């Protein structure tokens, strides 16, 4: 019999978490032998290559056998050097072969370090007034006090609000519930143009960088920016001398059907934050990739990058990341993500005929989200007390499918959504199984909430 847990603190006080015992491919198995499809790719959007790939654990074991930690103030390590070369060779647009890589531990470290680099770059360049980070509402960039401050995910911000550094947020690029009440393309992309307004209001001399996710993950359940959005963002950043930070923590490494999600807009950012899919959850690792020109300014002025954690550039993690990246390329996972993502979205749209609570289906590649509504025609949300997305999550979990429930599509407060991001190795039959489970789970939730 399972010993009741008393000492470990979990994410929720009111539920019993099954204990995971092993994982293979797209499946997780708990201690009672129940099998689950890892439909959200972990919590969330992590497991690019799937679970249990031997090459990764062997590379990690081999590196750990040689050494797993080293004094980073005095030495470097070969896996870190090799990983940096590999990442720069795969970087998007003008960053390819013309950037440098800083390796750290979590996605939050990466976005924090990206804004540190932006700030240090401007100080060292002789423009110390540039410090502000403009971000967007309904965005998530990480979970430390500083990063949660420039994130725009209302529910996670609220308790810590008084502790944040004040920073401007612009409205999200979110066509289903357009903050400007317009429709694409006649909207003239006001969501992107609102960056210019914010920059002018703050005074460009004060603004260091703009940060955004090309496809918003946890805060909007896979909402991609419309076509043309990032081209306008890039122009505004160039015009006002502002760095563009691309948060690819969820979207990188093939997740959206391209190696980098910013590739869909054919724009080069100045700094990229990446994590999750880069080691597929086998071990913690994240990185920032920034233009040579940015690092060169620091180098020329002998100004070491003022960031860093004890476990940065960990050799075991760097060894794992290389195997994961090669696996992604060798198995053409961005292509599979594109094809299976299309199949998934088409299947979900078909379910709309049977499920009036399915208000919207969206995403790119295998980052697929849907929104649950009380009335489709008016997009009326469920009462938050009804916890519609959590009900859906529980109904699917019971049937062996992990989903990721999200809330806040309306002003960060109302609106239930579900994020799906299965491992990129998933096959067509497995997508159909997911669709079948979602079909049954939606029926259960609709009857519980009285949706007809």
Backbone angles phi, psi at 147, to 5 degrees: -70, -35
Strands 169-170 and 132-136: parallel
x/- mask, ligand PLP, residues 235-264, rule CB under 6 A, reads ------------x-xx--------------
Query: Closest approach of Cβ 329 to ligand PLP, in Å?
Result: 23
Q: Which is nearer to ligand PLP, 111 or 389 (CB)?
A: 111
108 binds ligand PLP (CB under 6 A): yes
**Segment holding 211, helix H or strand E:** strand 207-212
- Which 366-405 residues touch ligand PLP, going by CB under 6 A? none
Cβ atoms of 420 and 361 within 8 Å: the answer is no
Report the residue number, 141 or 340, with the smaller CB distance to ligand PLP: 141
Residues 6+ apart with CB under 8 A from 127: 205, 241
Q: For 355-392, b where at least 16 C-beta lie within 10 A, e where not — what string?
A: bbbbbbbbbbbbbbbbbbbbebeebebbeeebbbbbbb
Q: From 29-37, 123-131, 134-142, 264-272, give the range in contact with ligand PLP by CB under 6 A.
A: 134-142
Binds ligand PLP (CB under 6 A): choice among 39, 142, 257, 315: 142
Q: Of the candidates 319, 239, 249, which has an alpha carbon nearest to the alpha carbon of residue 277?
A: 249
- 205: its two tokens: 């001399």
Residue 143 or residue 202: which is nearer to ligand PLP going by CB? 143
Question: What is the nearest approach in angstroms of ligand PLP to the Cβ of residue 43?
Answer: 8
113 near ligand PLP, rule: CB under 6 A: no
- Tell me how far, at minimum, the Cβ of 217 lies from ligand PLP, in Å: 4
Smallest gap from Cβ 317 to ligand PLP, in A, equals 13
Q: What ranges make up the beta strands (E) of 232-386?
A: 243-247, 271-274, 286-291, 358-364, 367-372
Stretch that binds ligand PLP, among 17-25, 177-185, 210-218, 258-266 (CB under 6 A): 210-218
111 sits near ligand PLP (criterion: CB under 6 A): yes
Name the residue nearer to ligand PLP (CB basis): 42 or 257.
Answer: 42
* Alpha-carbon span 336 to 356, nearest angstrom: 30
Contact of 95 with 289, CB cutoff 8 Å: yes
Question: In this complex, which beta carbon is closest to ligand PLP, that of residue 99 or of residue 138?
Answer: 138
Dist. CA 281–CA 57, nearest whole Å = 12
Contacts of 210 (CB under 8 A, 6+ apart): 133, 134, 135, 195, 233, 236, 237, 242, 243, 244, 245
Partners of 271 in the β-ladder: 245, 290
132, 118 in Cβ contact below 8 A? no
Taking the complex as a whole, the smallest distance from the CB of residue 150 to ligand PLP amounts, in Å, to 11
Contact 368, 420 (CB under 8 A): yes
Among 195, 262, 275, 418, binds ligand PLP (CB under 6 A): 275
Give the nearer residue to ligand PLP in terms of CB position, either 113 or 446: 113
Of 218, 298, 358, 391, the one binding ligand PLP by CB under 6 A:
218
Pick one of 213, 246, 371, 416: the residue that binds ligand PLP (CB under 6 A): 213
- For ligand PLP, what does the binding mask look like between residues 49 and 88, x meaning CB under 6 A? ----------------------------------------
How many residues sit in the footprint of ligand PLP (CB under 6 A)? 15
φ, ψ of residue 361 in degrees (nearest 5): -125, 135
Residues that bind ligand PLP (CB under 6 A): 106-108, 111, 140-143, 213, 217-218, 247, 249-250, 275
């Amino acid at each position: 019999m399972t010993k009741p847990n008393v000492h470990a603190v979990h994410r929720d006080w009111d539920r019993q978490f099954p204990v995971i015992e092993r994982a293979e491919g797209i499946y997780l198995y708990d201690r009672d032998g129940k099998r689950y499809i890892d439909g959200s790719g972990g919590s969330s959007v992590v497991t690019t290559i799937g679970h249990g790939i031997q090459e990764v654990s062997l590379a990690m074991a081999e590196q750990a056998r040689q050494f797993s930690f080293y004094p980073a103030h005095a030495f470097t390590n070969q896996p870190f050097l090799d990983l940096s070369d590999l990442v720069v060779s795969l970087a998007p647009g003008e960053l390819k072969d013309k950037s440098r890589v800083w390796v750290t531990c979590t996605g939050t470290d990466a976005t924090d370090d990206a804004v540190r680099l932006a700030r240090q770059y401007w100080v060292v360049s002789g423009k110390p007034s540039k410090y502000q980070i403009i971000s967007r509402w309904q965005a998530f960039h990480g979970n430390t006090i500083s990063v949660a401050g420039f994130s725009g995910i209302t529910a996670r911000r609220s308790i810590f609000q008084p502790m944040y550094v004040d920073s401007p947020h612009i409205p999200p690029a979110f066509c289903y519930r357009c903050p400007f009440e317009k429709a694409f393309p006649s909207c003239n992309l006001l969501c992107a143009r609102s960056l210019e307004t914010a920059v002018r209001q703050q005074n460009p001399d004060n603004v260091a960088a703009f940060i955004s996710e090309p496809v918003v993950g946890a805060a909007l359940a896979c909402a991609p920016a419309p076509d043309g959005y990032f081209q306008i963002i890039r122009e505004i950043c160039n015009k006002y001398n502002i760095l563009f930070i691309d948060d690819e923590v969820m979207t990188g490494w093939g997740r959206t059907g391209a190696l980098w999600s910013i590739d869909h807009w054919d724009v080069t950012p100045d700094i990229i934050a990446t994590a999750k899919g880069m080691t597929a959850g086998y071990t913690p690792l994240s990185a920032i990739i920034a233009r040579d020109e940015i690092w060169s300014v620091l180098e020329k002025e002998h100004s070491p990058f003022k960031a860093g954690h004890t476990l940065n550039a960990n050799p075991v993690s760097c060894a794992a990341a290389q195997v994961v990246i090669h696996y992604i390329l060798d198995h053409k996972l961005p292509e599979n993500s594109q094809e299976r993502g299309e199949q998934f979205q088409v299947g979900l749209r078909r379910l709309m005929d049977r499920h009036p609570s399915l208000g919207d289906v969206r995403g790119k590649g295998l980052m697929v989200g849907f929104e649950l509504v009380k009335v489709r025609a008016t997009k009326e949300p469920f009462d938050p007390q009804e916890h519609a997305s959590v009900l859906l999550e529980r109904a699917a979990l019971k049937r062996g499918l992990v989903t990721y429930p999200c809330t806040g599509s309306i002003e960060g407060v109302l609106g239930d959504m579900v994020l799906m991001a299965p491992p990129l190795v998933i096959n067509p039959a497995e997508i159909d199984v997911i669709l079948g489970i979602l079909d049954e789970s939606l029926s259960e939730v609709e009857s519980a909430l009285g949706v007809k």
